[in-house]
Structure 1
Amino acid sequence: MIDAVVRRAGIDDVSELIVIEAQARAALVDARGGARWLEEHRSIGAGWAEAVETRTVFAAVLVDAELDVVCGYLVLDVDGGIAVVDQVYVVPGARELGLGDGLLEAAVGEARACGVAVLEGQALPGDRETKNLYERAGITARLITVSTRLV
């Protein structure tokens, strides 16, 4: 039997997190708003070992009797009274198993434990899956930013 588990990411997850983040970023290259998001959110890349030690990182894991497979992650940053989901991603083959919902549930719990007043995240225009994920967790749009390149 395979179970879906969300837990704090650790040093043993780093190699899988590097690969999954690369997949997440590759998926944004052609997405509307993706190039801008990639510019504003630097890759953690080789810095995952430090990130799991110094930031709040949750891993979504499929577990059976013999192995754990990291299938997604969420990076949460807390600054003052605001918690921000910097990155959230579940690999396509593991979607619809509740892993994304579990990641956001863990983030909400951590934000409450830190005593913050607000939890924020971002979804790209047209990214219905991420928007729905946030809405299921009660996180709704409060501001939509529009832009166009002039040069």
Structure 2
Amino acid sequence: MIDPLVRPIDRSDPVDLAQVEFLEGHARAALVGQRGGERWLVEHPAVGDRWAERLAEPGVDVVVAYIDDVIVGYMVAVLGSDQIVRVDQVWVTPEARECGFGDELLATVIARAQERGAIAVEGESLPGDRQTKNLYERAGIVARLITTYKSLEPPA
């Protein structure tokens, strides 16, 4: 049994930043072909090699899940001016899933949100992304709005 370990990202460690950049690439690739994935990718540009800058933005908090020195998951949470923390990104490598890393990432984000004076935590999941939806529901984060979308642009 693996004990899911989570910690804040080390903002000054280039290895942490590179590992999260690598995982973000995999997370984004996994969205291609998913219902709503293409639109999400357009609306949420990749951080890419700008993680140090992203972490310097007001309200941005990133926690990472790890085994030994290897980051196997991450969660980005942003505290808005309305005092609501929004989970902006979440990813756990497929090999590390079902071990509790997602639950521990989210529990850590919730605890840190409370420390920051947040009044709520929100998350997003794509239609059909049961793993993420179930992760949120296990933590008591429930759907309050379903957003629908239809492109009016002609097919390419």
Equivalence for 1:124: 126
Tell me if structure 1 keeps the 8 A contact 2:4–2:101: yes
Q: Secondary structure at the match of 2:121?
A: strand
Give TM-score scaled by structure 2 length.
0.89
The answer to whether residue 36 in structure 2 is matched with residue 33 in structure 1 is yes
Instruction: Output the amino acid matched with 1:113.
Output: E
How do 1:2-151 residues align onto structure 2 when only pairs under 5 Å count?
3-10=3-10, 11=13, 12-54=15-57, 55-63=60-68, 68-80=69-81, 81-151=83-153
Q: Secondary structure at the match of 1:88?
A: strand
What's the C-alpha RMSD, in Å, of the aligned pairs? 1.4
Tell me if structure 1 keeps the 8 A contact 2:2–2:99: no
Instruction: Output the amino acid matched with 2:74.
Output: Y
User: Could you tell which deviates more after superposition, 103-112 or 42-51?
Assistant: 42-51
Tell me if structure 2 keeps the 8 A contact 1:51–1:57: no
Q: Secondary structure at the match of 2:17?
A: helix
Any gaps of 5 or more consecutive residues in structure 2? Answer: none
1:4-34 deviation per Cα after TM superposition (whole angstroms, max 9, x unaligned)? 2100011231111111000000000111000
Tell me if structure 2 keeps the 8 A contact 1:58–1:73: yes
User: Could you tell which deviates more after superposition, 46-55 or 113-122?
Assistant: 46-55
Inter-partner Cα distance in structure 2 for 1:103 and 1:2: 15
Show structure 1 runs of 4+ deviating over 6 A: none
Q: Share of identical aligned residues, percent?
A: 49
Any gaps of 5 or more consecutive residues in structure 1? Answer: none
How many residues get paired?
147
- Measured after TM superposition, the shift of residue 132 of structure 1 is 0.3
Instruction: Output the amino acid matched with 1:128.
Output: R
Give TM-score scaled by structure 1 length.
0.92
Inter-partner Cα distance in structure 1 for 2:2 and 2:70: 10
Tell me if structure 1 keeps the 8 A contact 2:6–2:108: yes
- Measured after TM superposition, the shift of residue 53 of structure 1 is 4.6
